[in-house]
Amino acid sequence: MATPTENTKYIFVTGGVTSSLGKGIISASLAKLLQSRGYSVTIQKLDPYINIDPGTLNPYEHGECYVTEDGAETDLDLGHYERFLNVPTSQANNVTTGRIYLSVIEKERRGDYLGETVQVIPHITDEIKHSIQLLGENNQYDFVITEIGGTVGDIESLPYIEAIRQLKWEMGPRCLVIHLTLVPYLAAAKELKTKPTQHSVKTMLEYGVQPDVLVCRTERPLNQSIRNKIALFCNVDATSVIESIDTDSIYKVPILMKDEKLDLVVLRKMKMSANCKPDLDKWEGFLDRLLNPRKSVTIGLVGKYVELVDAYKSIIESLIHAGATNHCKVNVQLIHSEQVNTQNLNKLLKNLSGILVAPGFGDRGIKGKILAIQYARINNIPFFGICLGMQCAMVEFARNVLHLKNAHSTEMEPDTPDPVIDIMEQQKQIYTKGGTMRLGAYPCKIEKTSKLYQIYNQEYISERHRHRYEFNNKYLKDFEQHGMVFSGINPDLGLVEVVELSGHPWYVGVQYHPEYHSTVANPHPLFVDFIKAAIDHDTLTSENPQSAISRAVSSAH
């Protein structure tokens, strides 16, 4: 049913007390509950930093960079939004302070402001409001949920809170503010403490914004008297004090929020019908398979950012989705590629059910990645290479099978005599960094006789990209003659998208990023099949323990 634009409701999610309270997951969970009642919802993240987008940020700074269909490099929370809602996002769903200022400054240079003094209020706040309301245009959504990054009280968050204040004033009940705070448990006092929440709401009030709903992150349940106390001090009714208890899986949060009636409180306050019962059957089915696995596998994730799981967020979540589909718990063992060497290779990798070599940039840890791939290839361990992982697989194969001893990617070794991975033609003249890679969705044609075709069961697919280098087709014939199968090719440009190795139980390298497409409703077929292969591998090894011994031997050669 088409809804007039004026009917779009705007929900803002702010955070207080500390960062990392899980605003992204709460936003995605509320969106899921509204979606399950038949409403159309999108979620947007506003990030108060000056970078134009997180594409240029080191993963240590900000975790993974998530790529959307339209090629935007965005905050990793957009990954949660897509995984929960199964609806694609776009550049409009992630805006930073840098992008807001860039747009205002470009307008100023064009003369759009007709001689006015350009100021934070109203020009920056107008631009923020425009970015929020853009998603409400064209009757697309019943609800736009906007998550404000950072914590209330931060200097850099101020223009965003001011924009919310103005929108609330202008649109009244079409806007609602959910404030997420922390209710800490003090072990010495044996008590949950409400003061940080009170202070955080006071800070909001100083800026002229009264939160409508408080979501309280806590490690212990909130009893009625705590809820009443928070309600009394923060000018909300007690039913609008929602407990968000620590949990071991983010996928439980929508159910916890449903039990807390977060969606009902929001619908009531926004005068929207709550008649339609939420349909969460598929979600609950997924959760049931996730929480009651029948077996387990251990996947080695070889990468250079292993100190920080957020750096590989989408890959880890895709493995969880694929595990649930296979009724299997996936233990992810993070292996630091810089620490893999010929001495410890066997010890580190011999008990793994599968090896996934991660995407990345630059030379650090490349040697370890190549060794891990060689080990997986020789020992018939399921191997999945993603982007740089696939490129390293091609370097390994060139060196050890085609005997091109100094083969490399020109990203790491510009003067290599055998550039099996080389910079793309279109990339050669590009010198600026942000947003200039081959980004977003591109088509891929699948060879019908391949394993890949069996996995996707489709001849044409589309997957998202984020890279500058590609397989060098000059070497294609030589690779093919030695058993490499080029099973996925970009039909327009002839670029290699997927490789697989004949005779190996499961060896797939992809130039694209399948992890950006895996959702709870649609776990990605490549990850699902990889986990299936890992299960088969473990079954085979347990039936034939001798194979583990022969593995140790073959790795010595």
Binding mask 209-248 for ligand GLN (x = CB under 6 A): ----------------------------------------
DSSP 8-state secondary structure symbol assigned to residue 171: H
| 488 binds ligand GLN, rule: CB under 6 A | no
Phi-psi region for residue 71, left (φ > 0), alpha (ψ -120 to 50) or beta?
A: left
258 binding ligand GLN? (CB under 6 A) = no
DSSP state string for 254-314: HHHHHHTTHHHHHHHHTT----SPP--HHHHHHHHHHHS-SEEEEEEEEES-TT-GGGGHH
Smallest distance, Å, CB 473 to ligand GLN?
15
Query: How many residues are there in the chain?
Result: 557
Candidates 513, 517, 524, 537; catalytic one: 513
Q: E strands along 337-417, which residues? A: 354-357, 383-386, 407-409
Min separation Cβ 438 and ligand GLN, Å: 8
Report if residue 466 touches ligand GLN, rule: CB under 6 A. yes
Nearer to ligand GLN, 69 or 154 (CB): 69
Calculate the alpha carbon distances from 15 to 179, 301, 404, 495 in Å. 6, 32, 55, 44
Site for ligand GLN in 361-400 (CB under 6 A): 361, 387-388, 391
**Binding residues with ligand GLN: total (CB under 6 A):** 11
Query: Which residue, among 322, 311, 305, 472, has the nearest Cα to 384 in the 3D structure?
Result: 322
Structure-block tokens of residue 507: 């060896």
CB of 358 to ligand GLN, least distance (A): 8
Q: What is the DSSP letter of 30?
A: H
From the CA atom positions of the chain, what is the Rg in Å?
25
The residues pairing with 465 across neighbouring beta strands, listed in sequence order, are 440
Residue 145 identity: I
Nearer of residues 287 and 358 to ligand GLN, judged by Cβ: 358
The dihedral over CA atoms of 249, 253, 259, 261, expressed in degrees to the nearest 10, equals 170
Q: Catalytic residue at 328?
A: no
| Among the listed residues 24, 360, 365, 514, the single contact to ligand GLN using CB under 6 A | 360
Under the binding rule (CB under 6 A), the answer on residue 469 touching ligand GLN is yes
Considering only 62, 467, 517, 532, the residue that binds ligand GLN (CB under 6 A) is 467
Q: In this complex, which beta carbon is closest to ligand GLN, that of residue 159 or of residue 360?
A: 360
Which residue from 327, 445, 468, 482 is in contact with ligand GLN, where contact means CB under 6 A? 468
> Distances from the Cα of 414 to the Cαs of 69, 144, 395, 398, 471, in angstroms?
31, 47, 14, 16, 15
- Residue in 136, 359, 509, 514 binding ligand GLN, rule: CB under 6 A: 359
Q: Give the active site residue among 387, 392, 463, 497.
A: 387
- Please tell me which residue in 123, 408, 515, 524 is annotated as part of the active site: 515
Q: Give the residue with the Cβ less far from ligand GLN, 165 or 466.
A: 466
> Measured from the CB atom, is 270 or 308 closer to ligand GLN?
308
- The two three-digit tokens of residue 193, written as one number: 């403490």
Comparison of 143 and 469: residue with beta carbon closer to ligand GLN:
469
* Closer residue to ligand GLN (CB): 272 or 308: 308
65 given a catalytic annotation: no
Minimal distance, residue 437 CB to ligand GLN, in Å = 6
In the DSSP assignment, the letter for residue 313 is H
Question: Measuring CA to CA, which residue among 26, 9, 81, 31 is closest to residue 242?
Answer: 26
| Amino acid, res. 170 | E
From residue 423 to residue 462, the character string flagging contacts with ligand GLN as x (rule: CB under 6 A) and all else as - is ----------------------------------------
d(CA 470, CA 507): 18
Complete DSSP assignment for 80-134: HHHHHH-----GGGEEEHHHHHHHHHHHHHHTTTTTPPP-IIIIIHHHHHHHHHH
Whether the CB-CB separation of 360 and 388 falls below 8 Å is answered with yes
Instruction: CB nearer to ligand GLN: give 125 or 409.
Output: 409
Q: Identify whether 515 is a catalytic site residue.
A: yes
- Residues involved in catalysis: 387, 513, 515
Q: Which residues sit at the interface with ligand GLN, rule CB under 6 A?
A: 359-361, 387-388, 391, 411, 466-469
